[in-house]
Amino acid sequence: MGRARVLIVAGSDPVAGAGLQADLKTVTALGGYGMTVVTAITVQDTRAVTSVHPLPAELVAAQMRACLQDVGADCVKLGMLATGEIVAAVTGVLEAYPSIPVVADPVLAGTGGGTLLDERGREWLLRCLLPRVALLTPNLPESARLTGIPVDDLDGMRRAAAMLLAAGAGAVLIKGGHLPGEDLVDLLLEQTGEQTFHSQRLPGSGFHGTGCVLASAIATGLAMGRSLPEAVAAGRAHLRRAMERAQAMGRGQRLLG
Protein backbone atom coordinates (compact mmCIF):
# COMPACT_ATOMS: atom_id res chain seq x y z
CA MET A 1 0.00 0.00 0.00
CA GLY A 2 1.28 3.49 -0.86
CA ARG A 3 1.33 6.49 1.39
CA ALA A 4 -2.06 7.09 3.02
CA ARG A 5 -3.84 10.07 1.41
CA VAL A 6 -6.00 12.36 3.55
CA LEU A 7 -8.07 15.14 1.97
CA ILE A 8 -8.53 17.96 4.48
CA VAL A 9 -11.49 20.33 4.02
CA ALA A 10 -11.25 23.11 6.60
CA GLY A 11 -10.72 26.75 7.39
CA SER A 12 -7.37 28.51 7.63
CA ASP A 13 -5.87 29.50 11.00
CA PRO A 14 -3.04 32.05 10.63
CA VAL A 15 -1.29 30.97 13.85
CA ALA A 16 -1.41 27.35 12.57
CA GLY A 17 -2.59 25.94 15.87
CA ALA A 18 -5.95 24.80 14.52
CA GLY A 19 -7.67 24.55 11.15
CA LEU A 20 -6.17 23.11 8.02
CA GLN A 21 -2.62 24.02 9.10
CA ALA A 22 -2.91 21.88 12.24
CA ASP A 23 -4.59 19.14 10.20
CA LEU A 24 -1.81 19.08 7.64
CA LYS A 25 0.91 19.01 10.30
CA THR A 26 -0.85 16.11 12.02
CA VAL A 27 -1.26 14.01 8.87
CA THR A 28 2.37 14.61 7.93
CA ALA A 29 3.67 13.79 11.41
CA LEU A 30 1.83 10.45 11.31
CA GLY A 31 3.26 9.49 7.91
CA GLY A 32 0.30 10.30 5.70
CA TYR A 33 0.03 12.61 2.70
CA GLY A 34 -2.31 15.53 3.35
CA MET A 35 -4.09 17.70 0.80
CA THR A 36 -5.92 20.88 1.75
CA VAL A 37 -9.18 22.43 0.58
CA VAL A 38 -9.71 25.91 2.02
CA THR A 39 -13.28 26.67 3.10
CA ALA A 40 -12.73 30.01 4.81
CA ILE A 41 -10.08 32.51 5.83
CA THR A 42 -10.18 33.36 9.52
CA VAL A 43 -8.48 36.07 11.48
CA GLN A 44 -7.66 34.51 14.83
CA ASP A 45 -4.88 34.05 17.34
CA THR A 46 -4.43 31.97 20.48
CA ARG A 47 -7.02 34.14 22.26
CA ALA A 48 -9.96 34.70 19.93
CA VAL A 49 -11.49 34.52 16.46
CA THR A 50 -12.05 38.08 15.27
CA SER A 51 -13.13 37.64 11.64
CA VAL A 52 -14.37 34.87 9.31
CA HIS A 53 -14.49 35.10 5.50
CA PRO A 54 -16.02 32.02 3.80
CA LEU A 55 -15.00 31.15 0.26
CA PRO A 56 -17.62 30.65 -2.47
CA ALA A 57 -19.10 27.16 -2.21
CA GLU A 58 -18.30 26.26 -5.81
CA LEU A 59 -14.65 27.15 -5.27
CA VAL A 60 -14.56 24.77 -2.30
CA ALA A 61 -16.14 22.02 -4.41
CA ALA A 62 -13.70 22.67 -7.27
CA GLN A 63 -10.74 22.29 -4.93
CA MET A 64 -12.13 18.96 -3.70
CA ARG A 65 -12.72 17.65 -7.20
CA ALA A 66 -9.20 18.66 -8.29
CA CYS A 67 -7.66 16.57 -5.49
CA LEU A 68 -10.01 13.61 -5.76
CA GLN A 69 -9.87 13.30 -9.53
CA ASP A 70 -6.08 13.50 -9.67
CA VAL A 71 -4.43 12.21 -6.48
CA GLY A 72 -7.43 10.53 -4.86
CA ALA A 73 -7.95 10.00 -1.13
CA ASP A 74 -8.12 7.18 1.40
CA CYS A 75 -10.02 9.33 3.90
CA VAL A 76 -11.61 12.78 3.97
CA LYS A 77 -11.36 14.96 7.08
CA LEU A 78 -13.93 17.76 7.39
CA GLY A 79 -13.38 20.68 9.74
CA MET A 80 -14.83 24.17 9.58
CA LEU A 81 -17.41 24.41 6.78
CA ALA A 82 -18.68 27.91 7.63
CA THR A 83 -21.96 28.09 5.65
CA GLY A 84 -24.91 26.02 4.53
CA GLU A 85 -23.88 26.54 0.92
CA ILE A 86 -20.46 25.03 1.59
CA VAL A 87 -21.97 22.10 3.49
CA ALA A 88 -24.26 21.40 0.53
CA ALA A 89 -21.40 21.68 -1.97
CA VAL A 90 -19.15 19.35 0.04
CA THR A 91 -21.98 16.84 0.37
CA GLY A 92 -22.51 16.93 -3.38
CA VAL A 93 -18.86 16.16 -4.13
CA LEU A 94 -18.74 13.34 -1.58
CA GLU A 95 -21.77 11.66 -3.15
CA ALA A 96 -19.56 10.77 -6.13
CA TYR A 97 -17.07 8.97 -3.85
CA PRO A 98 -19.18 6.72 -1.59
CA SER A 99 -16.33 4.35 -0.70
CA ILE A 100 -14.08 6.99 0.90
CA PRO A 101 -14.59 7.24 4.69
CA VAL A 102 -15.31 10.70 6.08
CA VAL A 103 -14.31 11.98 9.52
CA ALA A 104 -16.20 15.16 10.38
CA ASP A 105 -15.30 17.50 13.22
CA PRO A 106 -18.43 19.68 13.46
CA VAL A 107 -16.70 23.01 14.12
CA LEU A 108 -19.52 25.28 15.23
CA ALA A 109 -17.60 27.96 17.14
CA GLY A 110 -14.03 28.81 18.05
CA THR A 111 -12.79 28.12 21.56
CA GLY A 112 -12.09 31.85 21.86
CA GLY A 113 -15.47 32.78 20.36
CA GLY A 114 -16.73 33.41 16.83
CA THR A 115 -19.37 31.50 14.85
CA LEU A 116 -17.69 29.04 12.46
CA LEU A 117 -20.84 27.37 11.06
CA ASP A 118 -24.06 29.28 10.41
CA GLU A 119 -27.50 27.99 11.35
CA ARG A 120 -28.32 26.80 7.84
CA GLY A 121 -25.01 24.94 7.83
CA ARG A 122 -25.94 23.15 11.05
CA GLU A 123 -29.28 22.13 9.55
CA TRP A 124 -27.66 20.89 6.32
CA LEU A 125 -25.03 18.99 8.31
CA LEU A 126 -27.71 17.09 10.21
CA ARG A 127 -30.06 16.55 7.28
CA CYS A 128 -27.73 15.85 4.35
CA LEU A 129 -24.09 15.45 5.33
CA LEU A 130 -24.41 13.28 8.43
CA PRO A 131 -25.47 10.09 6.59
CA ARG A 132 -22.24 10.33 4.57
CA VAL A 133 -20.03 10.58 7.67
CA ALA A 134 -18.21 7.52 8.99
CA LEU A 135 -17.28 9.28 12.25
CA LEU A 136 -18.56 12.50 13.82
CA THR A 137 -16.35 13.99 16.57
CA PRO A 138 -18.27 16.68 18.52
CA ASN A 139 -17.27 18.05 21.90
CA LEU A 140 -19.88 18.56 24.63
CA PRO A 141 -21.13 22.02 23.55
CA GLU A 142 -21.30 20.90 19.92
CA SER A 143 -23.18 17.73 20.92
CA ALA A 144 -25.70 19.80 22.86
CA ARG A 145 -26.22 22.23 19.98
CA LEU A 146 -26.59 19.45 17.41
CA THR A 147 -29.10 17.45 19.47
CA GLY A 148 -30.86 20.10 21.53
CA ILE A 149 -30.37 18.20 24.80
CA PRO A 150 -28.08 18.90 27.79
CA VAL A 151 -24.75 17.09 27.48
CA ASP A 152 -22.82 17.55 30.71
CA ASP A 153 -22.13 14.00 31.92
CA LEU A 154 -21.61 10.48 30.57
CA ASP A 155 -25.34 9.73 30.45
CA GLY A 156 -25.93 12.89 28.42
CA MET A 157 -23.08 11.89 26.11
CA ARG A 158 -24.72 8.50 25.56
CA ARG A 159 -28.10 10.07 24.75
CA ALA A 160 -26.61 12.60 22.36
CA ALA A 161 -24.44 10.00 20.61
CA ALA A 162 -27.48 7.74 20.15
CA MET A 163 -29.45 10.62 18.62
CA LEU A 164 -26.66 11.45 16.18
CA LEU A 165 -26.24 7.79 15.30
CA ALA A 166 -29.99 7.53 14.64
CA ALA A 167 -29.75 10.66 12.45
CA GLY A 168 -27.39 8.85 10.10
CA ALA A 169 -23.81 9.05 11.35
CA GLY A 170 -21.83 5.84 10.96
CA ALA A 171 -20.29 6.34 14.41
CA VAL A 172 -19.98 9.15 16.96
CA LEU A 173 -17.05 10.08 19.21
CA ILE A 174 -18.15 12.59 21.85
CA LYS A 175 -15.14 14.25 23.46
CA GLY A 176 -15.35 14.87 27.19
CA GLY A 177 -12.76 17.60 27.56
CA HIS A 178 -15.40 19.99 28.92
CA LEU A 179 -16.37 17.62 31.76
CA PRO A 180 -15.58 18.85 35.27
CA GLY A 181 -12.89 17.20 37.35
CA GLU A 182 -9.57 15.55 36.62
CA ASP A 183 -10.87 12.29 35.12
CA LEU A 184 -11.97 12.77 31.51
CA VAL A 185 -13.80 10.34 29.26
CA ASP A 186 -14.46 10.18 25.52
CA LEU A 187 -17.35 8.04 24.30
CA LEU A 188 -17.28 6.14 20.99
CA LEU A 189 -20.67 4.83 19.90
CA GLU A 190 -21.04 2.53 16.89
CA GLN A 191 -24.01 0.47 15.75
CA THR A 192 -22.31 -2.52 17.39
CA GLY A 193 -21.88 -0.92 20.81
CA GLU A 194 -19.92 1.65 22.80
CA GLN A 195 -16.38 2.07 24.03
CA THR A 196 -15.02 4.61 26.49
CA PHE A 197 -11.54 6.11 26.57
CA HIS A 198 -10.20 7.64 29.78
CA SER A 199 -7.46 10.17 30.49
CA GLN A 200 -6.29 12.59 33.18
CA ARG A 201 -6.62 16.33 32.68
CA LEU A 202 -3.29 18.04 32.09
CA PRO A 203 -2.48 21.02 34.33
CA GLY A 204 -2.27 24.60 33.12
CA SER A 205 -4.20 26.75 30.68
CA GLY A 206 -6.16 25.55 27.65
CA PHE A 207 -4.96 24.21 24.33
CA HIS A 208 -5.52 25.53 20.80
CA GLY A 209 -6.71 23.10 18.11
CA THR A 210 -7.18 19.84 20.02
CA GLY A 211 -10.32 18.88 18.10
CA CYS A 212 -8.63 19.47 14.75
CA VAL A 213 -5.58 17.40 15.69
CA LEU A 214 -7.63 14.50 17.05
CA ALA A 215 -9.94 14.25 14.03
CA SER A 216 -7.02 14.48 11.62
CA ALA A 217 -5.09 11.81 13.50
CA ILE A 218 -8.11 9.48 13.41
CA ALA A 219 -8.59 10.16 9.70
CA THR A 220 -4.95 9.26 9.08
CA GLY A 221 -5.38 6.00 10.97
CA LEU A 222 -8.44 5.11 8.90
CA ALA A 223 -6.56 6.02 5.70
CA MET A 224 -3.85 3.58 6.78
CA GLY A 225 -6.38 0.78 7.13
CA ARG A 226 -6.87 0.71 10.89
CA SER A 227 -10.25 -0.21 12.35
CA LEU A 228 -12.24 2.66 13.83
CA PRO A 229 -11.50 1.80 17.49
CA GLU A 230 -7.81 1.36 16.64
CA ALA A 231 -7.73 4.68 14.81
CA VAL A 232 -9.46 6.45 17.71
CA ALA A 233 -7.06 4.99 20.28
CA ALA A 234 -4.02 5.90 18.16
CA GLY A 235 -5.41 9.38 17.48
CA ARG A 236 -5.99 10.03 21.18
CA ALA A 237 -2.43 8.87 21.96
CA HIS A 238 -1.03 11.26 19.35
CA LEU A 239 -3.09 14.14 20.73
CA ARG A 240 -1.94 13.39 24.27
CA ARG A 241 1.71 13.51 23.21
CA ALA A 242 1.09 16.78 21.39
CA MET A 243 -0.61 18.27 24.46
CA GLU A 244 2.26 17.20 26.71
CA ARG A 245 4.67 19.05 24.41
CA ALA A 246 2.46 22.14 24.06
CA GLN A 247 4.01 25.58 24.56
CA ALA A 248 2.60 28.97 25.51
CA MET A 249 4.00 30.73 22.45
CA GLY A 250 1.24 33.34 22.29
CA ARG A 251 -0.78 35.26 24.84
CA GLY A 252 -3.65 32.78 25.08
CA GLN A 253 -4.05 29.04 24.65
CA ARG A 254 -1.04 26.79 24.32
CA LEU A 255 -0.01 25.61 20.86
CA LEU A 256 0.34 21.86 20.44
CA GLY A 257 3.76 20.30 19.89
Q: Write the pLDDT tens digit of every residue in 6-38.
A: 999 999 999 999 999 999 999 999 999 999 999
The per-residue pLDDT for range 127-157, each reduced to its tens digit, is 999 999 999 999 999 999 999 999 999 999 9
| Position 190 pLDDT exceeds 90 | yes
Q: How does residue 111 score in pLDDT terms, banded at 50, 70 and 90?
A: low
**Residues contacting 254, CB < 8 A, separation 6+:** 46, 204, 205, 206, 207, 208, 246, 247, 248
| Position 110 pLDDT exceeds 70 | no
241: DSSP letter: H
**Residues contacting 86, CB < 8 A, separation 6+:** 39, 40, 54, 55, 57, 60, 121
Alpha helices of the chain — where are they, by DSSP H? 19-29, 57-70, 84-94, 119-124, 140-147, 154-166, 210-223, 228-244
Question: What is the per-residue pLDDT for 109?
Answer: 75
| CA distances, 112 to each of 45, 208, 228 (Å) | 9, 9, 30
| Position 69 pLDDT exceeds 90 | yes
In this prediction the pTM is 0.96
Mean pLDDT value of segment 116-136:
93
Question: What is the per-residue pLDDT for 89?
Answer: 97
| Position 215 pLDDT exceeds 80 | yes
Distance CA 53, CA 60 (A): 13
C-beta separation of 96 from 71 below 8 A = no
Written as one letter, the residue type at 73 is: A
| Position 252 pLDDT exceeds 90 | no
Which residues on adjacent β-strands are paired with residue 189?
172, 194
Q: Which CATH superfamily, name and number, covers 5-255?
A: Ribokinase (3.40.1190.20)
Question: What is the per-residue pLDDT for 27?
Answer: 98
100: DSSP letter: S
